[in-house]
Structure 1
């Protein structure tokens, strides 16, 4: 089985991965964050809800790994035919789209 990939498909893949990466980032941001109020340690002049240690490097790594896994699952489902427009429109009870 051979695939011919065009520049359009590559740029579309990057765009989908970019949006997915940001969604996963916003989902991972709250995990493991402790605020100054929760720990009872506060710096004068700062918001009590400000995080003590955000660990952004770790979150960016997890975001990248999880996004890659979700993207790979989505691409597999697309190439296997599970994410076709016709199939999804049938699942939502809409008339099938035909050219």
Structure 2
């Protein structure tokens, strides 16, 4: 596999991992014991930390990519194994 393909696949894993990581650790202003700003939705997150989100996303994406690459090299699960229609 070329390095450009590996980079593109890693970026896809990273983009998908953001949506896996975002809901974890979110607290509303009510849960944090803070006052709501006028016009703020009650469900809005209290403190958004993009650095922590990026770090968590990078860790999850790296683990998923390593599993993907190991499967690519070792052939644990192939397309033929997943073809249930033409067996």
The answer to whether TM tops 0.5 is yes
User: Counterpart in 2 of 1:30?
Assistant: 23
CA RMSD of aligned residues (A): 1.9
User: Counterpart in 1 of 2:4?
Assistant: 11
- How far apart are the structure 2 equivalents of 1:39 and 1:88? 46
Q: Give 1:87's match in structure 2, choosing from 72, 81, 87.
A: 81
After superposition, give the CA deviation of every residue in 1:39-83 in whole Å (9 maximum; x if it has no partner): 452011222222111222111011101111110111101211113
- How far apart are the structure 2 equivalents of 1:39 and 1:74? 38
Q: Which one has the largest radius of gyration?
A: 1
Q: Give 2:47's match in structure 1, choosing from 40, 49, 53.
A: 53
- How far apart are the structure 1 equivalents of 2:46 and 2:82? 44
- Corresponding residue pairs, total: 86
TM-score for both structures, normalised by structure 2: 0.81
TM-score for both structures, normalised by structure 1: 0.73
- 1:38 Cα deviation (Å)? 3.2
SS of alignment partner, residue 37 of structure 2:
coil
Structure with the larger RCO, 1 or 2 (CA within 8 Å, 6+ apart): 2
Gaps of 5+ in 1: none
